[in-house]
Amino acid sequence: MNAAVSLLEEARRLSDQLIAWRRHLHAHPELSFEEWQTADFIEGVLGRWPAIQTRRVHQTGVVADIVTDPAGPWVALRADIDALPIQEVARPHASQKANHMHACGHDAHTAMLLGAIALLYAHRAAWRGGIRCLFQPGEEKAPGGASLLIQEGVLDEVPIRAIFGQHVTPSLPVGTIGLRAGPFMAASDELHITLVGRGGHAAHPHLVRDPIWVAAQLITSLQGVVSRLNDPRSPTVLSFGVFQGGTAPNVIPETVQLAGTLRTFDESWRQQAIAHITRLTHTLAAAWEVTPHLTWKPGYPVLTNDSQLVSFVEATAQEMGLQVEEMPLWLSSEDFAFYGQRVPACFIRLGTASDNPDTQSPVHTSRFDIDEGALPIGAALLARLAIQYLQNARS
Ligand code: NI
């Protein structure tokens, strides 16, 4: 039996513990940047291993360093820990808090990183260097806990050469992981537009400046950024989810509110698209004598996987007997992307689906669940990646 397979077997013997950690976290979810009890729980578990140096970062984040040689090399593992404002369906082990739910599997991410630490600690004679484990708050809420932890120096205090993270994935079965080299998940930016015209009687359009009519043209016109200005080889989405204005059929309102999201896969094009949308909004509004107020709320950047790390993860997963699938581009966004802007990074999709239909329900839904058979796989994979990476880095 190779070392990777035997680590997976060892993780499977920890299954009861992994499930207990995950179910505790699942029953007690906390929203982004309010993960106080979650952080206490993580610190409590880490207290089992006194040689691990732990500290709080940005209030509800926990950094845990396992070190066998402070001179390095160093590698980082990341789990996000926050939950969502969703009411979970009634079932065993459901959330005990109304309208709070681990509907994106971050409970599992946390339990698996704790499991990986247990394995790394048990095997610390097998590797030399440092492993920084990041229990990161606020993945679900802008500006993203990752950006705040980076600002607080988590990537600068020790020379981290690579970072790995994983995410539960209901479109993949347990025993399969999904990878993609290069751009993988989209950058997302929010735009909010208010068009201010001149209201009046709807029977006299020549006496008003109709912001509803201008907003309709603007929404249509801005799709030209996607279809005419963008290189079609780089997928782009511009969707408006808010179009609000008016109170009566025969009254032209003063203002219309629009809000939408822009998704892109190239950082240079992302900035150009923002500039085009801003320019067109001002030009079109000026042409029809309506005043635009446009604000952008920057979201997460493009998540880009380092191609050498992807090959390394693929080889390591196959050594463990896992199936590896190449993933399509993913239009949702992830704040793990911020780490990848600073150090070589690889984000792994971990299969968590089984025959239970709830495990096939998409993330961010009230039915979403995971097959807990995935927990030892994710824990062993993270541990094995760290050990193998450090061994390779020294050889
Ligand atoms: Ni998530």
**What is the mean pLDDT of each successive set of 10 residues along the chain, which is 395 residues long?**
92 98 98 98 96 96 97 96 97 96 98 98 96 98 96 96 98 98 98 98 97 98 98 96 97 98 97 98 98 97 98 98 97 97 98 97 97 98 98 86
Q: How far is the CA of 386 from the centre of ligand 1 (A)?
A: 22
CATH number of 120's domain = 3.40.630.10
The range of the structural domain enclosing residue 226 comes to: 187-300
- pLDDT on residue 182: 98
3-state secondary structure of 14: coil
Total count of domains within the chain? 2
* Residue carrying the six token digits 């590896």: 324
Strand order across the beta sheet in which 176-179 lies: 53-57, 61-67, 130-136, 74-80, 160-173, 345-353, 176-179, 323-326
Q: Are residues 253 and 107 in the same domain?
A: no
Q: Which residues have a Cβ under 8 Å from the Cβ of 219 and sit 6 or more positions away?
A: 240, 243, 258
Query: Residues 42, 158: one domain?
Result: yes
Angle of helix 106-122 relative to helix 374-394, nearest 10 degrees?
50
CA dihedral 192, 196, 200, 201 (to 10 degrees): -40
Specify whether 233 is located in the same domain as 204. Answer: yes
Residue 72 has what pLDDT?
A: 85
Are 280 and 354 in a shared domain?
no
Tell me the CA–centroid distance for residue 104 and ligand 1, in Å.
Answer: 4
> Does 318 lie in the same domain as 277?
no
Let me know whether 39 and 179 are in one domain. yes
Are the C-beta atoms of residues 211 and 254 closer than 8 Å to each other?
Answer: yes
Q: Are residues 35 and 148 in the same domain?
A: yes
Structure-block tokens of residue 255: 């203002």
**What's the 140 CA to ligand 1 centre distance in angstroms?**
7
Whether residue 198 is found in the same domain as residue 244: yes
Residue 133 is encoded by which pair of tokens?
A: 């484990």
Query: Of 256, 278, 300, which residue constitutes the final position of a domain?
Result: 300
Look at residue 367 and give its three-state secondary structure.
Answer: coil
What whole-number distance in Å separates Cα of residue 232 and Cα of residue 354? 36
CA of 220 to the centre of ligand 1 (A): 32
Beta strands at 291-298 and 187-196: parallel, antiparallel or unpaired: antiparallel
H runs (alpha helix) in the chain: 3-13, 15-27, 36-46, 106-122, 145-151, 211-224, 267-287, 307-319, 336-340, 374-394
Between the CA of 161 and the centroid of ligand 1 the distance, in Å, is 24
Distance 323 CA to ligand 1 centre (A): 22
Based on the fold, state whether residues 197 and 171 are members of the same structural domain: no
Shared-domain flag, residues 88 and 233? no
Task: Report CA(221)–ligand 1 centroid distance (Å).
Answer: 33
Where a domain ends, among 267, 300, 333?
300
> What pLDDT score does 104 carry?
98
Q: 80 exposed, middle or buried (CB, 10 Å; 0-12, 13-18, 19+)?
A: buried
The residue whose two tokens read 């048990």 is 122
CB proximity list for 220: less than 8 A, separation 6 or greater:
none
Contact between residue 324 and residue 175 where contact means Cβ atoms under 8 Å apart:
no
Co-location of 324 and 196 in the same domain: no
CATH number for the domain harbouring residue 250: 3.30.70.360
Compute, in angstroms, the gap from residue 169 CA to the centroid of ligand 1.
9
Domain boundary among 277, 300, 323: 300
pLDDT of residue 394: 80
Q: Examine the domain organization and report whether 212 and 331 are in the same domain.
A: no
